[in-house]
Amino acid sequence: MTLGEAGANRPAPTLVSPAMAVEANRARVLQALYDIGPLSRADLARLTGATRATIGAIVLPLLERGLLVERDPAPVAPGGGKPARPLFFSPTSWPIGSVHLRPGRIDAALVSAGGNVLATAQEQFPARTRDAGSVVDAVIRALDAVLPKERDDLVGVGIAVGGMVDTDVGSIVAINLAPGLAGLPLGPLVSDRIGLPVFLDLHPRAQALGDRWFGQGRGVSSFASIYTGEAIGVGMVLDGAIHRGPKGSGGEIGHTIVQAGGQQCRCGRRGCWETIATHRWLRAEAGRLGLPAARTMTTGTLARLAAKGHPGADELFENYAYNLALGIANLQQILAPGLFILHGDVVFGGEAFRSAIERNVRAALPPHPGGEPRIAFSELQDRATLLGGAGLVLSHSLQLAV
Amino acid sequence: MTLGEAGANRPAPTLVSPAMAVEANRARVLQALYDIGPLSRADLARLTGATRATIGAIVLPLLERGLLVERDPAPVAPGGGKPARPLFFSPTSWPIGSVHLRPGRIDAALVSAGGNVLATAQEQFPARTRDAGSVVDAVIRALDAVLPKERDDLVGVGIAVGGMVDTDVGSIVAINLAPGLAGLPLGPLVSDRIGLPVFLDLHPRAQALGDRWFGQGRGVSSFASIYTGEAIGVGMVLDGAIHRGPKGSGGEIGHTIVQAGGQQCRCGRRGCWETIATHRWLRAEAGRLGLPAARTMTTGTLARLAAKGHPGADELFENYAYNLALGIANLQQILAPGLFILHGDVVFGGEAFRSAIERNVRAALPPHPGGEPRIAFSELQDRATLLGGAGLVLSHSLQLAV
DNA sequence: CTAAGAATGTACGAATCTCGACCAAACCTC
DNA sequence: GAGGTTTGGTCGAGATTCGTACATTCTTAG
């Protein structure tokens, strides 16, 4: 789970042995299936440059173990020929446990390798509790409710945490609204109790992996997945790999300064992006403008007000889009992921809001042949994070060892 | 040279064949030598996990071709044993051409694989010229002056450009002070004339590769290399790989907004980091404070004024450090590279300036077990970019094909 | 209805690489 | 000088992919 400490020596890369080659090749075949969808052996051979014979040898054990299944023959190309048998993940095989831990609430799911949610469960806990043990118990209960009794096939469990984490040891560093959980080594504790490997990571990063394996990030080499709402966070896939930073310390985009000397942030500094791109700003502005239900304002209700032509709503709608675009444009300037997948509250702003953000982002950037950045709203809805928990496990299991 | 377009489908990874394995393994052995320094076969075997027999087979052709040489036997470990023969790059072999193109000025060098600058040359051209052909001629002249007549061993040529580039085709998109070069496909033109592969990239990115292969970035998994002075730019190495973004459109950190509604930037927007973290701001402030030689103020002269206790200098010194820290802290929040290697004007501010920046960066970040970010001044001095041009070629040549 | 064409999936030998074991060389300690 | 330790080289075994040839299954033409 380690990814190199700040300034620490890079671990010396291990050489490619034949044993590793077959593992890497298997991972690449599976990755192609994730990225593109069902593919025949001949398709895979063309894509990977290998011969059909090699692909056959690689997929045979996967079919025997039930990981992959042959689907119905595909329609034949004009001119005839033997119809191809597309391969894809069995709807139920290779189950992965997934947990989303938020202050006061635990969601768990069982997800198949192909991204089917096979079971879900919820648990509650008092957000301000100091009894971290009871939270661990609740996580275990939620997992027990979804994990099958037969745990031989289980790959592992992914846990997404809405707070700062240490991905090296799998512990929680700090959660804003649940201070009692600070320092809790949730990953090892859960791993001991259920006897499976556990991968714990930041919520927006898990969400990004949901997009990467099961959403609009499939087959895309670089993109950023942004969560908005009460807070703001980002997970980034760069050149096909999720980026964490040492011990998972990256992704805290909400506290990048976009307005030096601006509003006070709850982090103590001034002008963080969070001060102008989250509910707090939206609701304060809505109150200032005298909009109805300002204290519970969301992007969805604002969009409806603006559509109805409510005085001031249109202006706030545009300003909020501009504020969101500010941080996105900064990210594009630095890393140019090219695609931004937005999750959370903003999605309810609808196409009008999406295009307003995209327009503002593009207006803020100089032209480059690399192309204009695209803003997309997630199609995974509330499944994103739980699928992302599974993606966390997949990313580790399929991580190319070479 | 392509690295995937924005939102474009990731190219399907090619499978690992035995033929590619040996190439990849050779690259890893060389990378270990770059990261760590001279190593014996036994050292390499321990580091890579391979057997000494395998390492022997890998390095033999490299020794025969003269790429590597056996150095004098190393001192023996206590307890005895046959003294190890450290291997390292021959001081002259594997020569790489390097070009640094700035408005009005061309620097060229011949660099050995081990980072020895074997020859240098300069050419001038009128910055505002519209005759792009004459600039290409000047580049060729500079290269002819440094490249050996025998071009069989030459690996390639790297070109670092102080402006926006398209790394896919190797062309210049725009240079601020040399608008006549916009759209010039310099890479292909030079490649045709000298008959070698040419890799063209953004100046700060080349500089980062200089750090990565020959400077403080050796063996470090992630870091950011920042250029400061008239403008500001960044090159990033994340998890061991340089990040470009589609067609090399990333790295424009100078035009990220850190002060929405702030000073007008030459890019047309307001509050770009460049407006408060480059010479322009420094000189304007120095003028406002009535400091001597304000119009030619640099960090070096400011540091000397502050050391002498000149009124106002100390305050400006601290404010400039704060302004620089602002953008660095943002980068650390998002990506957490952990190490920031600074180049250009700021280096002349000395240790006092370095520690002032580091202090300001750390003060702006919440604590995380990932560790505190470190700020370092480049030890490569003015060689950074030319070494980086060679690093550009190395990164492509040694890019792990698997 | 039959035969040719085309594409998919499988079987077998050749080539190549790494691994493991063994051996000679060089140095230290006793 | 003998024994131990470490380095570097040699050789056969095992594993994997590649190239080629072959069986299978569908379309299309006559």
Q: How far apart are CA B16 and CA B25, in angstroms?
A: 12
Identity at B336, one-letter amino acid code: A
Count how many residues are written for chain A: 402
Q: How far apart are CA A320 and CA A353, in angstroms?
A: 9
CB B112 within 8 A of CB B90: yes
What is the DSSP track for B318-382? HHHHHHHHHHHHHHHHHT---EEEEEEGGGGGHHHHHHHHHHHHHHTS---TT---EEEE-SSGG
B168 touches chain A (CB under 8 A): yes
What is the pLDDT at residue B389? 97
A41 touches chain B (CB under 8 A): no
Average pLDDT over residues B175-182: 91
From the Cβ of A17, is strand D under 7 Å away?
no
Least confident of B26-30, B66-70, B71-75, B218-222: B71-75
CA distances from A328 to A163, A224, A349 (A): 21, 9, 17
Identity at A395, one-letter amino acid code: S
From the Cβ of B79, is strand C under 7 Å away?
yes
Q: What are phi and psi of A276, to 5 degrees?
A: -130, 0
A16: nearest nucleotide, CA–C1' criterion: C18
CB B217 within 8 A of CB B206: no
A262 touches chain B (CB under 8 A): yes
A261 touches chain B (CB under 8 A): yes
B330 CB neighbours in chain A (<8 A) are 256-257, 330
Q: How far apart are CA B57 and CA A252, in angstroms?
A: 46
Q: Which residue from B12, B219, B256 is facing A48, i.e. has the nearest CB?
A: B12
Average pLDDT over residues B310-321: 95
Question: Contact A339/B6, CB-based, under 8 Å?
Answer: yes
What is the pLDDT at residue B10? 58
Question: Contact A7/B164, CB-based, under 8 Å?
Answer: no
- Å separating the CA of residue A186 from the C1' of nucleotide D20: 55
* Cα Rg, chain A, nearest whole Å: 23
Q: How far apart are CA B25 and CA B402, in angstroms?
A: 10
Please give the angle made by the CA atoms of B133, B138 and B142, to the nearest 5 degrees. Answer: 150
Burial label, B101 (beta-carbon count in 10 A; 0-12, 13-18, 19+): buried
Q: How far apart are CA A97 and CA A121, in angstroms?
A: 11
**What pLDDT band is residue B181 in, cutting at 50, 70 and 90?**
very high
Question: Looking at residue B241, what DSSP letter applies?
Answer: E
What is the pLDDT at residue A18? 72
- State both tokens at B172: 């210049």
Q: Which residue from A36, A261, A368 is facing B249, i.e. has the nearest CB?
A: A368
CB B389 within 8 A of CB B95: no
Q: Is the pLDDT of residue B62 over 70?
A: yes
From the Cβ of A85, is strand C under 7 Å away?
yes
- State both tokens at B65: 């071709």
CB A169 within 8 A of CB A185: yes
Least confident of A22-26, A347-351, B202-206, B360-364: A22-26
From the Cβ of B82, is strand D under 7 Å away?
yes
- State both tokens at A387: 């699928």
From the Cβ of A53, is strand D under 7 Å away?
yes
Q: Is the pLDDT of residue B1 over 60?
A: no
**What pLDDT band is residue B7 in, cutting at 50, 70 and 90?**
very low
Q: What are phi and psi of B279, to 5 degrees?
A: -50, -35
B329 touches chain A (CB under 8 A): yes
Q: Write the Ramachandran bin of B219: left for phi over 0, alpha for psi from -120 to 50, otherwise beta.
A: left
Of A49, A35, A44, nearest to B401 (Cα)?
Answer: A49
In a 3-state reduction of DSSP, which class is residue A185? coil
What is the pLDDT at residue A12? 59
Q: How far apart are CA A156 and CA B222, in angstroms?
A: 28
Q: Which residue from A269, A338, A368 is facing B164, i.e. has the nearest CB?
A: A368
Average pLDDT over residues B115-139: 95
Question: Contact B6/A222, CB-based, under 8 Å?
Answer: yes
- What distance in Å separates residue A28's CA from the closest CA in chain B? 7
Which nucleotides in chain D lie less than 7 Å from some protein C-beta? 3-11, 14-21, 23-28
Q: Mutual orientation of helices B52-64 and B41-48 as an angle, nearest 10°?
A: 130
From the Cβ of A84, is strand D under 7 Å away?
no
A270 CB neighbours in chain B (<8 A) are none
Q: Which residue from A11, A236, A333 is facing B256, i.e. has the nearest CB?
A: A333
Residues in Cβ contact with B122 at an 8 Å cutoff, skipping those fewer than 6 apart: B105, B106, B107, B108, B142
Choosing among A223, A333, A339, A375, which should be mutated to test the B contact, i.e. which has the most B CBs within 10 A? A333
Higher pLDDT, A172 or B240: A172
- What distance in Å separates residue B188's CA from the closest CA in chain A? 17
What is the pLDDT at residue B76? 77
Which residues are registered as beta bridge partners of A235?
A225
CB B249 within 8 A of CB A370: yes
B43: nearest nucleotide, CA–C1' criterion: D7
CB B241 within 8 A of CB A313: no
Of B190, B188, B272, nearest to B232 (Cα)?
Answer: B272
Question: What kind and span of H or E run contains B173?
Answer: strand B171-174
Q: How far apart are CA A202 and CA A159, in angstroms?
A: 8
Q: For chain A, which domains are there?
A: 18-89 (1.10.10.10), 96-210+385-398 (3.30.420.40), 218-379 (3.30.420.40)
A24 touches chain B (CB under 8 A): yes
Give the chain B residue nearest A242 (alpha carbons).
Answer: B239
Identity at A76, one-letter amino acid code: V
From the Cβ of A18, is strand C under 7 Å away?
yes
Question: Contact A334/B25, CB-based, under 8 Å?
Answer: no
Q: How far apart are CA B316 and CA B291, in angstroms?
A: 10
Identity at A186, one-letter amino acid code: L
Question: Contact A369/B166, CB-based, under 8 Å?
Answer: yes
In a 3-state reduction of DSSP, which class is residue B146? helix
B239 touches chain A (CB under 8 A): yes
CB B222 within 8 A of CB B242: no
- Chain A 85-144, residues with CB within 8 Å of chain B CB atoms: none
Question: Looking at residue B202, what DSSP letter applies?
Answer: E
Q: Is the pLDDT of residue B81 over 90?
A: no
Choosing among B44, B164, B333, which should be mutated to test the A contact, i.e. which has the most A CBs within 10 A? B333
Is the C-alpha dihedral spanning B284, B285, B286, B288 positive or negative?
Answer: positive
From the Cβ of B77, is strand C under 7 Å away?
no
Question: Contact B366/A267, CB-based, under 8 Å?
Answer: yes
What is the pLDDT at residue B20? 78
A19 touches chain B (CB under 8 A): no
Burial label, B104 (beta-carbon count in 10 A; 0-12, 13-18, 19+): middle
From the Cβ of B260, is strand D under 7 Å away?
no
- Å separating the CA of residue B51 from the C1' of nucleotide C25: 19
B57 touches chain A (CB under 8 A): no
What is the pLDDT at residue B3? 31
Which residues are registered as beta bridge partners of B124?
B105
From the Cβ of A45, is strand D under 7 Å away?
no
Of A328, A348, A325, A364, nearest to A253 (Cα)?
Answer: A328
Question: Contact A250/B54, CB-based, under 8 Å?
Answer: no
Cβ burial B57-81 (10 Å sphere, 16+ → b, else e): ebbeebeeeebbbeeeeeeeeeeee
What is the pLDDT at residue A399? 61
Q: pLDDT digit string (tens) for A1-37?
A: 333 333 455 565 677 777 778 888 888 899 999 999 9
Question: Contact B7/A338, CB-based, under 8 Å?
Answer: yes
- Å separating the CA of residue A33 from the C1' of nucleotide C8: 18
Burial label, B8 (beta-carbon count in 10 A; 0-12, 13-18, 19+): middle
B368 touches chain A (CB under 8 A): yes
Using 70 as the pLDDT threshold, list the residues of chain A that sit under it.
1-13, 399-402
Average pLDDT over residues B222-242: 94
Residues in Cβ contact with B266 at an 8 Å cutoff, skipping those fewer than 6 apart: B176, B274
Count how many residues are written for chain B: 402
Question: Contact B173/A369, CB-based, under 8 Å?
Answer: yes
From the Cβ of A82, is strand D under 7 Å away?
yes
Q: Whose structure tokens read 């982002």?
A: A361
Task: Give the other-Cβ count within 10 Å of A13's Cβ.
Answer: 20
- State both tokens at A228: 């908005």
Question: What kind and span of H or E run contains A159?
Answer: strand A157-161
Q: Is the pLDDT of residue B31 over 50?
A: yes
Question: What kind and span of H or E run contains A58?
Answer: helix A52-64
- Å separating the CA of residue B247 from the C1' of nucleotide D20: 41
Q: How far apart are CA A391 and CA A242, in angstroms?
A: 11
A219 touches chain B (CB under 8 A): yes
Question: Contact B250/A50, CB-based, under 8 Å?
Answer: no
Least confident of A10-14, A373-377, B23-27, B77-81: A10-14
A277 CB neighbours in chain B (<8 A) are none
Q: What are phi and psi of A22, to 5 degrees?
A: -65, -35
What is the DSSP track for A99-134? EEEETTEEEEEEE-TTS-EEEEEEEE--TT-S-HHH
B7 touches chain A (CB under 8 A): yes
